[in-house]
Structure 1
Amino acid sequence: MSEPQYEIPPRAVPENDAGYFEKITQAVFQAGFSWKVIRNKWPGFQNAFAHFNVDQVAAFTSVDVERLVEDKTIVRNGRKIEATIKNARICQELIAEHGSFHNYLRTMDGLPYIKREKQFCKKFKFMGPMGAYFFFWSVGEDVPEYHEWRAQNEKS
């Protein structure tokens, strides 16, 4: 029996800012890759990106980008690596402004899903509608049913 082409990620509210940043990073790297590839390499990602410590990754430099592009334990896409570092810096700003990433998400409460998705995609680098849906779903935020979301995106 063949393995399905997609996998429904587990839903869980992250315990801390690193958990939210990790889910953003998964969404970025998942784009264009099979779940199996990303899942199998995820321990390498955790090590390569300092277990998603926002401040540590935000401090990465071009030397770190060069190191990560050579790291065979992760997907070595320079643009996605650079986006991850930029996204850590964006997370830092949001955490400083709102006290936590969770509190930042609460600023979008009450907005229709499509507005939350658009804001999220605009704010974070290398984030598209599918990545935003994956993120919101996997961190336990309200999202439309997948088939409804898919039908809406096919209209756009």
Structure 2
Amino acid sequence: MKLTDTAQLADLHARIDAACQRLEINGAQGLPDPAEWAILPRHDDDRALFEELCFHMFAAGFSRDVVRQKWPATRSAFADFDIAELAAWDGARLTPLLTDRALIRNRRKIESVVHNAGVVQALAAEHGSFKAWLGSYPAGQLHLLHKEIARRFASVGPSAGEWFLLTAGFAYYFRTDHAQRLLQRLGLLPARVRPEDFNAVMEAVHQAGGASRWAVSAQMFRFASGFHLREGICQESPRCPKCPLWDYCDHFNQAPAAD
């Protein structure tokens, strides 16, 4: 299979999508749309983007539902995430928050809100706004933005940064070992994969088939992992005879045996 063959790429995703629908467990919920994981419905300004970033920072390693329940109190405690105000806070302003049972009482994350407000303020001073800095990375380089977010912002690891980009509406691909393994078996990725390689393949599939970027990411993950399916097809031990992609596959390049 070649990355330049748009007809094959469109057919590839159509087969994966059909297989996921056929194998879906009755009543099971698929992967949620990223918008369902956001704390805000819109991200029109720096304050909203900063709040979304902080939400995913707090949610990392915790129950997302618990963090969501505590979020009205969290928003109030942190001055509605007013960036200029938070950037000026000192340690004395944070001390009462560390014992407030209405909040997630994690010292490192609480202190990181203030630190990160300063980071956003500095980026806005240099680029005009935090939103402008985020938007300065084109779709094909969002893996670099993801890396920069993790480097610049305290307590924002790869998972939190990834969910921030997804929920804030950026064309970021949900990268998993499962999807990467599938694409390697199809000959679309090399053995040693760079983030830009993965993004390029996913973008090509998105452009060829017209499915949303999230749908492309989610269905490849489900197909390869078996998430909420009766069985996974392209798991670590693949079920090649049942795979609808066998004729595209470098891993199994002969017709499957009949069931």
Q: TM-score, normalised by structure 1?
A: 0.86
Aligned mates of 1:101, 1:153 — CA distance in 2: 31
Contact 2:98 2:105 in 1 (8 A): yes
Please give the secondary structure, in 2, of the residue aligned with 1:122.
helix
Change (3 A) 1:139 1:40: same
Please give the secondary structure, in 1, of the residue aligned with 2:92.
helix
Quick check: 1:14 aligned with 2:61?
A: no
Q: Determine the structure 1 residue equivalent to 2:84.
A: 55
Q: Determine the structure 2 residue equivalent to 1:150.
A: 176
Q: Determine the structure 1 residue equivalent to 2:127.
A: 98
Select the structure with the greater relative contact order (CA < 8 A; seq sep ≥ 6).
1
Cα deviation, 1:111-131, whole Å, max 9, x if unaligned, reads 433222111110111111110
Q: TM-score, normalised by structure 2?
A: 0.53
Q: Determine the structure 1 residue equivalent to 2:112.
A: 83
Please give the secondary structure, in 2, of the residue aligned with 1:104.
helix
Aligned residues: 149
- Aligned counterpart for 1:132 among listed residues 148, 158, 161: 161
Please give the secondary structure, in 2, of the residue aligned with 1:112.
helix
Contact 2:77 2:97 in 1 (8 A): yes
Contact 1:27 1:132 in 2 (8 A): yes
Bigger Rg, structure 1 or 2: 2
Unaligned runs of at least 5 residues, structure 2: 1-28, 182-192, 195-259
Quick check: 1:141 aligned with 2:167?
A: no
Q: Percent identity at matched positions?
A: 30
Contact 1:94 1:101 in 2 (8 A): yes
Contact 2:123 2:133 in 1 (8 A): yes
- Aligned counterpart for 1:32 among listed residues 39, 53, 61: 61
Quick check: 1:44 aligned with 2:79?
A: no
Unaligned runs of at least 5 residues, structure 1: none
C-alpha RMSD over aligned residues: 2.3
